[in-house]
Structure 1
């Protein structure tokens, strides 16, 4: 399934945070949202997974307006990993992941063998199968992140919406998580601060700046020196990664941000 965001406007607290956003997350692709802090990435994602209501525009799931779906219907199609991780669950790791099966259960229905297999597989996918009996509150930030991702996998959605999923993860687990997202083959809409990670894992990028989508396309097309200067206020060169051939952004850490906007870098 695909996600289409059409002329989306989102406002709260008397302030417009997203203004006229258009974007596509194509079926089976990983679509990234990148942009400076405060550019509207999290707000846009919250609207996609129905935590916020748009003031105008709409979000379509394979042509159907999400507002036409019931909460249960939406939860069977879209699973989210927000930045706000919720409270400290007084549950075991396995019980937290099993919460992902809720959209498929009748009220007060117990877990069946299919649910158990799905939960076990989700825990194994994120490398937490050896921690199923631990209390969620005992985990490190990175371990909690992986458990909540497993909960999203257990939901068996058509679309994953992930807001900064690599937060709190060490380098190895960041690499493993991004490889896992690629292997899933699900439609994925993800915000990432790490531009090199975004360039490596995403099929398509949308760049947000001051609540607007200012560039869209393949990472190599979008992440140009001019855009890095204009949107992020940094001087950068785009080269080929020596191991993967993906675009690699090399930042000039000596440049003063205010001085690079007029800079023209040729690689």
Structure 2
């Protein structure tokens, strides 16, 4: 399922946060949103999983305007891992992940064999198969992150929307997550601060700055030294990773540029 965002405008608290954003993710493509803090990445993603309503523009799922779908229809097609994540669930890990099956259930229906199978597979995929009975509130930050990702996988969506999913994960689990997303090949919109991770994972990148898309294309097309200087305010060399051949960005940590204007 492809996702297209057309002329998106979002404002709240008397401020225009996103203005005229156009971006897309083709079916089965991983599209990354990158940019400085406050550039509008999370705001754009929140419109896709209907946490925010745009003031203008539209979000299309396979050509269908999101506004014409019911919440249940949307939940069967889009699963999200937002930055605002509950930490006080008095539920077990299994119960939290089983919440991903809610869009497929009738009211008061119990868990069936398919639900249990999908939850088990999702927990195994994120490395939490042996933690089903633990309280969610007792997990570490990284474990909570993986449990909520398992909930999104258990939802079996056409589209994944992930807002900074590597936050709180140690390096091994970051690598595992990126490998898992790459292997699953679901249509994915993902925001990342780590540009090297974005370059390794994403088929397409959209660079946001001050609520607008300033560059779109493959990682090699958009992550140039000039763009990194203009948008992120850093000196950087762009080269090739010696192990994987992916794009590798090396930053000059000793001589930062002045902060970008705007």
TM (normalized to structure 1)? 0.96
Match of residue 145 from structure 1 = 145
Q: Could you say if the C-alpha distance between residues 11 and 259 of structure 1 is closer, same or farther in structure 2, counting changes exceeding 3 Å?
A: closer
After the TM superposition, which segments of 4 or more aligned residues of structure 1 sit over 3 Å from their partners? none
The number of aligned residues is 261
Backbone CA RMSD of aligned residues: 1.1
Counterpart CA distance in 2 for 1:168 and 1:120 is 23
Runs (5+) with no aligned partner, structure 2: none
- Residue aligning to 2:161: 161
With over 3 angstroms needed to count, the CA separation of the structure-2 counterparts of 1:136 and 1:15, relative to structure 1, is same
Q: How does 1:227-246 map to 2 (within 5 A)?
A: 227-246=227-246
- 1:33: how far off? 0.2
Q: Structure 2 matches for 1:191-230, cutoff 5 A?
A: 191-230=191-230
Q: Distance in 1 between matches of 2:258 and 2:108?
A: 59
Mapped to 1, the partners of 2:259 and 2:120 lie a distance apart of 53
Question: How big is the shift at 1:88?
Answer: 1.2
> How far apart, CA to CA, are the structure 2 residues paired with 1:13 and 1:224?
34
1:257 corresponds to: 257
How far the C-alpha of 1:260 sits from its partner, in A, is: 9.4
Evaluate the alpha carbon distance shift between residue 110 and residue 259 of structure 1 in structure 2; reply closer, same or farther with a 3 A threshold.
Answer: closer
Residues 111/64 of structure 1: CA separation in 2 closer, same or farther (3 Å cut): same
Equivalent residues of 2:87, 2:136 under 8 A apart = no
The SS at the match of 2:258 is helix
Structural mapping, 1:1-267, within 5 Å: 1-258=1-258
Question: Where does residue 264 of structure 1 map in the other structure?
Answer: none
Q: TM-score by structure 2 length?
A: 0.98
Structure 1 residue 201: deviation in Å?
A: 0.4
Tell me, yes or no, if the aligned pair for 2:40 and 2:208 is still in contact at 8 Å.
Answer: yes
- For the residues of structure 2 that align with 1:218 and 1:78, how far apart are their CA atoms? 24
CA distance in 2, matches of 1:233, 1:259: 5
Deviation per CA, 1:16-62: give whole Å up to 9, x if none: 00000000111101100000000000000001110000000000000
The Cα of 1:95 is off from its aligned counterpart by 0.3
Q: For 1:258, what is the secondary structure of its paired residue? A: coil
**How much has 1:153 moved relative to structure 2?**
0.3
Q: What is the CA-CA distance between 1:87 and the residue it aligns to?
A: 4.3
| Inter-partner Cα distance in structure 2 for 1:123 and 1:146 | 8
> Distance in 2 between the 1:184 and 1:147 partners?
17
Cα distance, 1:86 vs. partner?
Answer: 2.3
Question: 1:4-27: per-residue Cα shift (whole Å, max 9, x none)?
Answer: 000000000000000000001111
